Amino acid sequence: MVSVARARELLSRLKDLRILVVGDVILDTYLYGDVERISPEAPVPVLEVRGEEFRLGGAGNVARNLSALGVETFLCGVVGRDEGGQILRQLLGQNGIKAFLVEDERPTTKKTRVVSRNQQLLRIDWESKERISGETLKRVIDVVLSLEVDAVVVSDYAKGVITPQLMKVIKEKGVFVSVDPRPQNKELYRGASLMTPNEKELRAMTGEGEIEELGKRLKEELALGTLVVTRGEKGMTLFSEEIRDFPARARKVYDVTGAGDTVIACLTALRLAGASWEECCELGNVCGGIVVGEFGTATVSPEKILRELERQT
C-alpha cells in the first residue's frame, strides 16, 4: 500500500497540473421528498417534494473531481440554450472550473433522480444522442486546439460530443489522453494513453471470457498505453507491463453514481504527478471507496485521501 508520506508528496504536485476534460456534460438533478401514500389515479407512489439539488454530472463530474484534487481544470462540452445550461455554468464556476461550453440547438443533457429516504424511485432523462457537427463541432475543436494542457480526459457518455474528427484533433495535441469509454465508440479510442472501462463495458467491447484475456486482447487491439478495468466490489485490474489486480477499498457501498468519473480523474492526475501505475491503482481504489460511500455524485480531496489512508494503515 502507498504510504501516507508518499501519497502526500504525490498529491502536493497536483496543483501544478493543467488538465482539460472534453465530453458530455450532464446536469444531475435530485428531487427529494417523502412518500406516504399511493396515488388514487394510478398504482404509483406520490412524492411530496421537500427539496431540489443540482450537481455536475458526466464530464462535469470528472472536472469537478480534478478541481477538488487541486488541479487547474478546464472543461469543454455542449449545452442547450436553456435553464439547464445556465445552471451548469454556475456550478462549474462555483467549483473553480474554467468552462468552455458551446451552445447548440439540442437540450442540455439532464438526469433527474426522484429520491425518498435516500432510495431512488425514478430517473427521468432529457437528452439528444446525435453527434455534433457543423459550427458546433468546429467551435469545440477550436477550444481544444487553443488550450495548452498536460492531458486531455475524454469523458464519453455517448451523447454525441465525442466524434471521429474531435478525437483526431485530441490525439494530435501530443499530450496524455485518457478515456472513460462507451462500447459503441470503441474505434475512436485507438492509441489512447489510458482507458478505464468497467467490466461490463470491457465485455461489450470484446465478448465473453476471463478478464485477463479480454483486457489483453482489447489493449492490443486498440494499441492502448495502459488499460485499467474497474470491477466494483472486486476493485480494479491493471493492464500495463504486467497484469495485476487491486482489491477494493470501500468500507460500504452506498451509491456507485459517478464512481468511474472519480477513478479516471484520480488515475490521470496521479500518473501525471509521477506515480507508478501500481500507486495510481492503489490510490484510485481509495478514492473510489470514498465516493461510493456517499449519496449521488461525490468528489475526493487530498485531505480526504490522506485521512482514509491514515485510517487504513
pLDDT in tens, 199-239: 999 999 999 999 999 999 999 999 999 999 999 888 899 99
Confidence of residue 197 (pLDDT cuts 50, 70, 90): very high
pTM here is 0.93
Which three-class secondary structure state does DSSP give residue 253?
Answer: coil
Confidence of residue 295 (pLDDT cuts 50, 70, 90): low
Count of Cβ atoms closer than 10 Å to residue 94 Cβ? 10
Instruction: Reduce the secondary structure of 106-155 to three states and give it as a string.
Output: CCCCEEEEEEECCEEEEEEEECCCCCCCHHHHHHHHHHHHHCCCCEEEEE
Where is 203: in which H helix or E strand? helix 199-206
- For residue 272, give the C-alpha cell: 501525471
Count of Cβ atoms closer than 10 Å to residue 203 Cβ? 16
- For residue 76, give the C-alpha cell: 469543454
Confidence of residue 257 (pLDDT cuts 50, 70, 90): low
The per-residue pLDDT for 151 is 98
What CA–CA distance (Å, rounded) separates 177 from 179?
A: 7
Domains contained in the chain, CATH given: 4-25+57-108+128-312 (3.40.1190.20)
E strand spans, the chain:
18-23, 25-38, 45-58, 72-80, 98-104, 110-116, 119-126, 151-155, 176-180, 194-195, 226-230, 236-239, 243-246
Q: What percent of the chain has pLDDT above 70?
A: 95
Of 114-118, 159-163, 216-220, 277-281, which range is least confident? Answer: 114-118
**pLDDT (average), residues 89-95:** 97
Residue 8 CB-density burial (10 A; 0-12 exposed, 13-18 middle, 19+ buried): middle
Of 32-41, 148-157, 171-180, 292-301, which range is least confident? Answer: 292-301
Confidence of residue 266 (pLDDT cuts 50, 70, 90): very high
User: Angle 234-226-63 (CA atoms, 0-180°, nearest 5)?
Assistant: 80
- For residue 278, give the C-alpha cell: 501500481
- For residue 17, give the C-alpha cell: 497540473
The per-residue pLDDT for 253 is 52
What CA–CA distance (Å, rounded) separates 116 from 107?
A: 27
Among this protein's residues, is 180 annotated catalytic? no
Listed in sequence order, the residues at least 6 apart from 194 whose beta carbon sits closer than 8 Å to its beta carbon are 176, 177, 178, 179, 224, 225, 226, 227, 228, 264, 267, 268, 271
What CA–CA distance (Å, rounded) separates 212 from 272?
A: 26
What CA–CA distance (Å, rounded) separates 3 from 20?
A: 29
Listed in sequence order, the residues at least 6 apart from 145 whose beta carbon sits closer than 8 Å to its beta carbon are 169, 173
Length of the chain: 313
CA 104 → CA 12, 42, 109, 161, distances in Å?
A: 38, 38, 11, 11
| Spatial contact of 89 and 99, defined as CB atoms under 8 Å apart | yes
Confidence of residue 192 (pLDDT cuts 50, 70, 90): very high
Confidence of residue 25 (pLDDT cuts 50, 70, 90): very high
What CA–CA distance (Å, rounded) separates 12 from 312?
A: 20
